[in-house]
Amino acid sequence: VSTVLITGGHTGIGLACVNELASVWRANVILAGRSPDKMEAVAREVHERFGVRVDTLSLDVGSLASVRAAAKQLRSWRENGKLESLDALICNAGAQFHGPVPYSPEGYEQTFAVNYLGNFLLVHLLLDELSDGGRVVHVASGTHDPDTMDGKMIGGVGEPDADMLASVGKDGHKVMSPLRRYSTSKLCVMLFAYELDRRLRRASPQAMPIASIAFEPGYIPETGLVREGPDFFKRFSRSAFGKWLVKVIGVTIGDVQLSGAAMARAAIDPACAQSSGKYLQPKDGRHVEARSSKTSYDEAKAQKLWQQTERLVALRPEERPTRLQGQGAS
Ligand SMILES: NC(=O)c1ccc[n+]([C@@H]2O[C@H](COP(=O)([O-])OP(=O)(O)OC[C@H]3O[C@@H](n4cnc5c(N)ncnc54)[C@H](OP(=O)(O)O)[C@@H]3O)[C@@H](O)[C@H]2O)c1
């Protein structure tokens, strides 16, 4: 039986994914997040309905200390036999922050910390725990691409410069709008997903042990993502007219159930085993491989971002995954 760890799997698209993993794929699930009561309730319900095992793991992905503690907890489950295998990691948790610029416990801009930095560290700490043939699914967003309506609607995207993004609004760095902070954090997710794929391939040219897949749910205004946004925006985006309008202007449309099911497939369906280094996006009700933004394929930017991020998360030598250290890795 496969076990899939998902962050933010107790709400929204993540919850639809969890239901699909349990009902269709009969996978055990680990719900990782910072809302223990909600997670426990979902864990009980999913276990009772589908009979699979559902564990909860305390994780605030915006706090590097919490990410390290969660990874330690998971490793202890592996050592004491509570967890037999870990087969996929879905980095789904994500957030937008409106109002004054918030900062993480480590002092980094919170959108960047939650959507990108925490995932970078979590993936590093769990990469060697994944079974051979395992997968990392990075939940991105069409807003990362300024040449599409998804990106234009949100006001474009900033430079994927980790030092600048971590310090937005302080230390002499300019303030950036909430939505632009969001789209730029998702561009970083895309650059990370592709760079991880390249590094895994270089480290194991013969057989790719882990797939790194970028996944876009599509625009779904019903979830909690816009909960902190202005009221008029929430009302408008969830209205029939609002939904019709975004579709007509060419925004990539998702659906909680369909996108959740596609997210589950990205993590577990043998049909997606060859999707490493690819971007899955909804098209006519199905998720298919698609081109992402021009910048997302920029290898020099991806490498610079990776190096900057290693410094920001203060990655220790023993935290570097063995899987990235094989022959040919840089
Ligand atoms: N909805 C869309 O239109 C859309 C489009 C493209 C991409 N996405 C992406 O899809 C993913 C899922 O979003 P959603 O739409 O399903 O929204 P959602 O219902 O708000 O789900 C977000 C999840 O992330 C969790 N989370 C937020 N901050 C966290 C933190 N610091 N630590 C741990 N967990 C945290 C939330 O947990 P709490 O309950 O504890 O807050 C929640 O479970 C996100 O990455 C989002 O960016 C969404």
Q: In a mutational test of the pocket of ligand 1, which residue from 17, 29, 34 has the highest number of ligand atoms less than 8 Å from its CB?
A: 34
User: What pLDDT is attached to residue 329?
Assistant: 45
Q: 119 C-alpha to center of ligand 1: Å?
A: 13
Start-to-end CA distance of the chain, whole Å, equals 34
Quick count: other Cβ atoms within 10 Å of Cβ 101?
Answer: 16
User: Which amino acids are annotated catalytic?
Assistant: 182
Q: Rounded to an integer, what is the distance from CA 294 to the centroid of its chain?
A: 20
Ligand 1 closest atom vs CA 91: 45
Say what the pLDDT of residue 230 is.
Answer: 80
The alpha carbon of 229 and the centre of ligand 1 are apart by a number of angstroms equal to 14
C-alpha dist (Å) from residue 65 to 58, 277, 290, 304:
12, 29, 35, 24
> Could you give the CA distance from residue 126 to residue 199 in angstroms, rounded to a whole number?
16
Contact status, residue 114 vs residue 61, Cβ threshold 8 Å? yes
Q: Which of 177, 178, 174, 180 is nearest to 158 (CA)?
A: 180
> What single string gives the DSSP state of each residue in 72-123?
HHHHHHHHTTS---EEEEEE-------SSPPB-TTSSBHHHIIIIIHHHHHH
Q: Whose CA is nearest to atom 39 of ligand 1?
A: 35
Kindly list the protein residues whose Cβ atom lies closer than 6 A to any atom of ligand 1.
7-8, 10-14, 33-35, 38, 59-62, 92-95, 114, 139, 141, 217, 219-220, 223-225
Report the residue among 5, 6, 13 best suited for mutation to probe ligand 1: largest number of ligand atoms under 8 A from its CB.
13
pLDDT recorded at residue 226: 77
Report the nearest atom of ligand 1 relative to the CA of 60. Answer: 32
Q: How far apart are CA 324 and CA 202, in angstroms?
A: 8
DSSP 205: S
- pTM of the predicted model, to two decimals? 0.97
Report the relative pairing of strands 286-290 and 279-283 from DSSP bridges: antiparallel
pLDDT digits (tens, 9 = 90+) for 41-98: 999 999 999 999 999 999 999 999 999 999 999 999 999 999 999 999 999 999 999 9
Residue having the nearest C-alpha atom to atom 1 of ligand 1: 220
What's the average pLDDT block by block, 10 residues per block, for the chain (330 residues)? 97 98 98 98 98 98 98 97 97 95 98 98 98 97 97 94 97 93 98 98 91 97 82 87 92 96 98 97 94 98 98 97 73
C-alpha 325 – ligand 1 centre gap (Å)? 32
